[in-house]
Amino acid sequence: MTASEVRQEIPFALPDITADDIDSVVAVLRSRWLTTGAVTRQFEAKFAEAVSAHHAIALNSCTAALHLSLEALGVRPGDSVFVPTFTFAATGEVVRYLGAIPVLVDVDPLTCNIDPVALRGAVERVVREGVSRPKAIMPVHYAGAAAEMDDVWDLAREFDLAVIEDAAHAFPSTYGKNRIGWTPEDIPSTVCFSFYATKTITTGEGGMVTTRSSEVADRIRRMSLHGLSKQAWNRYAGGTWRYDIVAPGYKYNLTDIASALGLTQLKRSREMAKRRNEIAAAYNQAFSALPGYVTPQVPVDRVHAWHLYQLRIAESFGEENRDALIEMLRIRHGIGTSVHFIPLHLHSFYRESFGYKPHDFPAALNVFEHCLSLPIYSSMSDGDVQQVIDAVTTSHITLCGAEKGKS
């Protein structure tokens, strides 16, 4: 069977779209107000309520949210921003948008979140060298499990740093008694969410940024639409045509079409989160029985959003057999998988621009070489879940047999 003949029986990810979702989008289309307007403001208000935030600003991506957060919190060219290497491209690239320096940091090998000890070492090194101003930390809540935020906040207070949380995976996650989206009073901070098609709720493409600060919220809102003193809604829905440009901004606003979908998705978010938790529990029970495999670790004091389910194969198998498992699941069983992520320091841009080498971040490198992400989405049936479990188990047995044959 060739790659072109493979039938994808269980895709890696699918959005969970209902008739209500479709009806809400159609209603906006019929209203004839399609861009940012009253529906988007309603989505912002409902989302802020859902995550206990003071302000929420809807944007067209999490990347936009990260970018505008850095800008609003005062990151300038030459500043150092501390970023885990085990993350998607957006977390690092937005730092370069502003001419700042992404200082990569290793991760905890169990949670894949930024390692507090390594983070402190990186901050102290930048302070000691005195070449760049340490300005912000960007922790990533990997897969939907919250990072060690107490350690991050303590470091931010000690060194007067801003905190921009990359929560692209983390709705609806919690850390201790707080929902991800809440921010402390004494630290300049934002939290950035993604509503991409594969996320726990979707607007197709979209994002949201939350903050406690009215000043930061106002700056982000203005910069999201060309730096205008008035939003398009105010200019065209009965307001004056006059406006002022307060700064050269961007085109990052979210439309009412997308926000309508976000509102109906938000209404079902608890139901969809419950289903993801059920799938993760079934996977954990099944795969914890496979010798050498590592299932995700969830601290007892937080709720996991389960945007991703990362399975780590036995270290004795190595990267080659991880890749073989991915191909076996795809070709023999029609199971879609992925790898999250190729660490930033392995990409040519970071190697060539900052001199990073593969073994500079051993924990991230080890996780990358042994991990794969399995399908987990709320529309999966019990039969789908069992099919994935059976396929992984069968493929594991086949690979074990192949390894014995080599020896």
With respect to residue 11, please indicate whether it lies within any of the assigned structural domains.
no
Give yes or no: residues 95 and 25 share one domain. Answer: yes
Looking at residue 235, its pLDDT comes to 60
Whether residues 226 and 363 share a domain: the answer is no
Q: Are residues 210 and 275 in the same domain?
A: no
* CATH number for the domain harbouring residue 292: 3.90.1150.10
- 283 and 233, same domain (yes or no): no
Question: Where residue 41 sits, what CATH number does that domain have?
Answer: 3.40.640.10
- Decide which of 205, 227, 262 is a domain's last residue: 262
How many other β-carbons are positioned within 10 Å of the β-carbon of residue 269?
17
Q: How far apart are CA 341 and CA 372, in angstroms?
A: 9
Is 103 within a domain?
yes
Let me know whether 347 and 206 are in one domain.
no
What pLDDT sits at residue 97?
A: 99
Range of the domain at 255: 19-262
* Farthest-apart Cα atoms in the chain, separation: 78
Structure tokens at 338: 């992925």
Single residue among 211, 237, 262 that ends a domain in this structure? 262
- Is residue 173 a part of any domain in this protein? yes
134 inside domain: yes
Identify the domain boundary among 196, 227, 262: 262
**Burial class (CB within 10 angstroms; exposed 0-12, middle 13-18, buried 19+) of 312:** buried
Whether 243 and 151 share a structural domain: yes
> Mean pLDDT, 10 residues at a time, over the chain (407 residues)?
59 98 99 95 99 99 99 99 99 99 98 98 98 98 98 99 99 98 98 99 99 98 92 63 90 98 99 99 97 90 98 84 95 97 99 98 97 98 97 92 57
Q: Do 65 and 158 fall into the same domain? A: yes
Does residue 12 lie in a domain region? no
**Which of the following is catalytic: 46, 135, 177, 199?**
199
Whether 1 is in a domain gets the answer no
* Whether residues 50 and 158 fall in one domain: yes
199 is catalytic: yes
* 164 and 30 in a common domain: yes
In this prediction, residue 1 carries a pLDDT of 47
Task: With respect to residue 10, please indicate whether it lies within any of the assigned structural domains.
Answer: no
Long-range contacts of 146-149 (CB under 8 A, 24+ apart): 146/113, 146/170, 146/173, 146/174, 146/175, 146/180, 146/302, 147/111, 147/113, 147/114, 147/175, 148/108, 148/113, 148/114, 148/116, 149/175
Distance of alpha carbon 340 from alpha carbon 150, whole angstroms: 25
Torsion of CA 154, 158, 161, 163, to 10 degrees: 0
DSSP letter, residue 176: T
For residue 171, being part of any structural domain is answered with: yes
pLDDT at 236: 59
Q: How many domains does the chain have?
A: 2
Vertex 327: Cα angle to 321 and 329 (nearest 5): 105
Report the alpha-carbon distance of residue 213 to residue 223 in Å, rounded.
15
CA distance 118 to 394: 38
* 256 and 304 within one domain: no
The pTM is what?
Answer: 0.95
Distance CA 369, CA 372 (A): 9
- Asked whether residue 197 falls in the same domain as residue 121, the answer is yes
